[in-house]
Structure 1
Amino acid sequence: MSLLVVEEITKAYGGLRALDRVSLKIERGVVKGLIGPNGAGKSTLFHLISGIERPDSGKIYFKDREITSLQSHEISALGIGRTFQTVQTLGNMTAVENIMAGMHLRLKGNLLTSGLWLPWIGKAEKAALKEAKEILDLLGLLGRWKSPASQLPLGKQRLLELGRALAMNPELILLDEPASGLTSAEAEQLKERIHQFKKGGMTFFIV
């Protein structure tokens, strides 16, 4: 069973057809690339997979479940994370707070079901902070955990955005031009991190 299946997806904006009956499959545990010129519809496809937009026709399946009409937060909760072509870190928040924001969907249910048992909530928050620091450590960002995201160099912001996606504990991560604007050294570092997580069983679909 393929992890992600896109069947005959079409999306038009007025008279411009961005995607025309696109079909593809992504298997588990791979790093798959999507290549094409600017304006070819690559980011549009990612918007459709992640629920930001809806296709005009066609269907999308994740883990054999149709997700075509689901909201973006529902798709995230099922196990699809993503980054964007333009870095979208939470600039006024620290690096560790950005990672913890990525945990929000996963932790919110646990925190809410705890009711007013405040000691338990405190333990959950401490555990989340510990996990967030571990993710930063894997990305080589632990030394900047208290730094506002806006003060990090672009390459580290890209890594931080990847970390926020990882914090949702996804099975599939969509990376939209993750090396855009990076130096060759930063791009190599990002590549190493992606392959590191792939070895752990994660799947990547990259523009």
Structure 2
Amino acid sequence: MTVLKTDKMTMKFGGITAVSKFDMEIEKNEIIGLIGPNGAGKTTCFNMITGVYTPTEGKIYFEDKNITGMKTHEITKLGIARTFQNIRLFKELSVLDNVLIANHMRLDSNLFSAIIKTPDYRNKERKILEKSIKLIKDVGLDDVINEKSSSLPYGKQRRLEIARALATDPKLLILDEPAAGMNPQESMKLMEFITEIRDRFNITILMIEHHMQVVMGVCERIYVLDYGIMIAEGTPTEIQNNPKVIEAYLGVE
């Protein structure tokens, strides 16, 4: 089953083409990498898929539904969640509160029931609390559940951001440089963690990552962008040996 498909997805800013006619197809439960030198257009692709930008040309399909130009919150409700290169947590709130906030997106109640705390609303709140606690345990943060998020080590902050994205019940999880700022030991743990959450939550994962050891170690297929144009697509081994990819990263004499 195809989870995400882009058809000639293009983004232009004035006279500059950031991404040109990018075609990508992701099947259910795959872990896919999107790589390329700085300025290649990777984050622009993510921003189009998640509704931050509307493509200048082309279409985006999520489970065969055309989501081109939809708002970010609409796309999130359909089942696409993302993290950011720069961690965006509620720093003064606890681990639990960060996850609870994300879970409230699925709370189906009106303002009246929330104000007077009807039995139905209280029951839904209890279920959200139970779900949040379970999710925190699943990602290995139960030992810091009441800690302020800003006090966590960097690797745990990354896990919390991913947990918050998982709280929205995504079918597709988009990770923007999850290994950024991590030391080698943390990066190795991250590789295991990404595979674990794919299997545990039965989701599909698309990630941008500059850390080549992480990309090659966890991704099943990889797309490569250079100056907004896709120059290669294939398995990690195929990408590592692709002359165009080597030239894009290392240049030629």
TM-score, normalised via structure 1 length: 0.94
1:186 maps to 2:169: no
1:141 maps to 2:141: yes
Do the aligned partners of residues 86 and 117 (structure 1) sit closer, same or farther apart at CA in structure 2, a change above 3 Å counting? closer
Mapped partners of 1:58, 1:88: distance in 2: 30
Residue matched to 1:85: 85
Mapped partners of 1:10, 1:175: distance in 2: 21
Mapped partners of 1:194, 1:114: distance in 2: 40
1:152 maps to 2:144: no
Query: For the pair shown, which has the larger CA radius of gyration, 1 or 2?
Result: 2
Q: Is the 8 A contact 1:114 1:120 kept in 2?
A: no
**Number of residue pairs aligned between Structure 1 and Structure 2:** 205
Mapped partners of 2:190, 2:127: distance in 1: 26
Specify the code of the residue in structure 1 equivalent to 2:165.
A
1:113 Cα deviation from its structure 2 partner: 8.4
1:205 maps to 2:203: no
Residue matched to 1:54: 54
1:166 maps to 2:204: no
Mapped partners of 2:168, 2:187: distance in 1: 23
- RMSD over aligned CA atoms reads 1.5
TM-score, normalised via structure 2 length: 0.77
Residue matched to 1:95: 95
Deviations 1:110-147 (A, max 9, x none): 22288356222222212211111111111111111111
Q: How do 1:1-150 residues align onto structure 2 when only pairs under 5 Å count?
A: 1-107=1-107, 110-112=108-110, 115=113, 116=116, 118-150=118-150
Q: Which runs of 5+ in 1 are unaligned?
A: none
Q: Is the 8 A contact 1:84 1:175 kept in 2?
A: yes
1:152 Cα deviation from its structure 2 partner: 1.1
| Bigger mean CA offset, 38-47 vs 5-14 | 5-14
| Identity percentage of aligned residues | 37
1:104 Cα deviation from its structure 2 partner: 2.3
Q: Is the 8 A contact 1:114 1:121 kept in 2?
A: no
Q: Which runs of 5+ in 2 are unaligned?
A: 209-253
